[in-house]
Amino acid sequence: MNIDEKSQKKSKVVGKLVTCVVLVAAGALLLYFRGSISSRISKVFASTDSEAIPVTKLEKQPFSLTVSADGEVVGLETTSVATPNTSSGQLTISWLIQEGSFVNEGDPVVRFDSTDTKLNLEKRQNTLESNQQNIKIKTLQQGTNDKTMELDLESAEEDYQYAVTVMPEDETIFSKWDIITKQSDVHYQKENLEFLKSKAKTQKRTARSEMQVLMIDQTKAENEVATYQRTLSSLELRAPVSGLVLYHRDRREEPEVGNSSFPGQVIVEIINLDALQARIYVLERDGGHLEKNMPVNIKLDAVPDKVYHGTIRTVSSVAAALERNSPLRYFTCDVTISDAGRDLKQIRPGMNLRGDVILHEYESCFVVPSAAVTTQDNQSGNIVYVKNGDRFEARVVETGLSSHGEAVIVGGVEDGEVIALTDPNGTRKLSLPDFNKGGTGNQQQMRGPGPGGPPGGGMMRMR
């Protein structure tokens, strides 16, 4: 080994020793001044009271709570006219309005054959009249029988009283035979009177039962007459709305006079040329308050510069996925767009649209972030924290329907008051713990150089 190699090796060893000495000195200085460093970091991260509690000033404003949804144009609004459900089952078409006709609401569009219905109605009316006559006759007979029975009871009572009055008892005057005969006669008159009283009760019960049977028959006949009258009135179908009449072709066959139609079978459809029909899909989480006749604002992708207005016609009762194996579920709503008549030439079924369902409109309310409204165990209802000087006081408020991220307050606070946007009692602050305390888990315990030394460092925590 030459002299150059020895000098290089010696210089490397000296460099390593110098590096170790520098690292040890830096660690000792950091350990010695860790208390002042910890306090400086705490001052940097510590928040003042004014910064920790954001506030806002309440101001009343109109507010519309809406739910957004995507959808598409289905076509023109169509109203079906179906065969009524009658006791006679299927019906025969006797008259049909010409296809392509324009009708107004209430105009006749279909008539069914009423021959059998009229015949059955006449039979039931005759049965009802017969029942009514039988009730009158039975009423007169019952009155006559009651009068006759009353006379028989009076006669029997008189005969019994006479027999008791003239009955001989003195054996010195009357023979024993006469006394026994009169006693038998009194006993007979008494039994006859009891029999007539019992017969009168039985006769009344029988007459009442027969009258009830006749009344039941009369009620049955009245119900049948009413049923056939309703059937007769429903054999003429009228247009529920105004529009263009089109035949509903079942299995490519259009309805004709003489065809049989079953209950619920659609015969004609009335097209409203002034109203479009759209279908929108609302997320399940947003559809809890959907109802029929709610207003909807519609924007078509093909006509982006206009806003159309409509109302919800139907809402699906159950949310369903639009795509297979999709976790998202939607409520399906059919919407009638009422003011798109002038733009019908440039609107086609299948066009995409964006709809905003107006759940509720507030003329005047307070709108704040949802975090400003909270609850407490010792308070009933929702509360906010109103600023009173340097303090915040909890106050119960009345809330309305709210959206995601926003809360609507309709009562309990006044215009111009200042409320906290977060719970002032639960403000989170940054602080540094005492590193002299022993750590647990993965935290290593760090100690100072000795008794009376500066406090040790540690990990920064959120509390």
Give domain limits for the chain. Answer: 54-63+364-426, 65-81+264-363, 117-233, 430-463
3-state secondary structure of 133: helix
Token look-up 């039931």 returns 124
CA distances from 456 to 30, 233, 265, 383, 430 (A): 10, 97, 88, 44, 18
Does residue 398 contact residue 410 with C-beta atoms inside 8 Å? yes
CATH architecture of 65-81+264-363: Beta Barrel (2.40)
pLDDT confidence tier of residue 406, bands split at 50, 70 and 90:
confident
For residue 382, give every residue at least 6 positions away whose Cβ sits within 8 Å of its Cβ, in sequence order, or none. Answer: 373, 374, 375, 396, 397, 398, 399
Single-letter amino acid, residue 219: T
What's the rounded Cα separation, in Å, for the pair 283 and 404? 13
pLDDT at 35: 59
pLDDT at 332: 94
How many CA atoms are closer than 13 Å to the CA of 304, on its beta-carbon side? 1
CA distances from 179 to 182, 191, 356 (A): 5, 18, 110
The residues facing 64 across adjacent strands are 361
Single-letter amino acid, residue 155: S
pLDDT at 51: 53
349: left (phi over 0), alpha (psi -120 to 50) or beta: beta
Which two tokens mark 367?
């709108």
What pLDDT digit, counting tens, does each position of 86-145 carry?
A: 877 788 899 999 988 899 999 999 999 888 888 888 998 999 999 999 999 989 988 898
CATH architecture of 54-63+364-426: Beta Barrel (2.40)
